[in-house]
Amino acid sequence: MLDEHDVVATVRRVELRELRLWVRQGWIKPAVSEKGPVFDDLDVARIRLVCDLRKEMSLPTDAVPVVLSLVDQIHSLRRELRGLTEVIEAQPDETRQAIVDAYRTRRNANG
């Protein structure tokens, strides 16, 4: 876990005032300790993403929450698919094959 100053030292493209603004805007959601916000590896990755969006891609401020929301939705869907895959893999061979066959039929029907 990193504090604000550690994050700024680690992610050299972000300034402390920017980091605090992004937290206030809800773009970054660190945990809070008695000493203030603390950031984990996922927070740091998100900070790097916001740096890319704002500084490398010049994305307008009002578009950043839209992109972050879409990224969050993609990650959520990946978690759901991973869970579904685990459940399917735990099924007997016949059941797994029936699921694969049904999926292929549906996919072929939808083009």
The pLDDT tens digits for 59-101 are: 999 999 999 999 999 999 999 999 999 999 999 999 999 999 9
Separation in Å, CA 99 to CA 82, 89, 93, 102: 16, 11, 10, 5
State which residues form the domain around 50: 1-59
Q: Give how many domains the chain has, as a whole number.
A: 1
Query: What confidence category does residue 111 fall into, taking pLDDT thresholds of 50, 70 and 90?
Result: confident
Residue 70 lies in a domain: no
Residue 11 lies in a domain: yes
pLDDT per residue over 1-38, tens digit each? 999 999 999 999 999 999 999 999 999 999 999 999 99
The token duo for 100 is 């694969």
Instruction: State the average pLDDT for the chain.
Output: 96
- What pTM was computed for the model? 0.81
Residue 76 lies in a domain: no
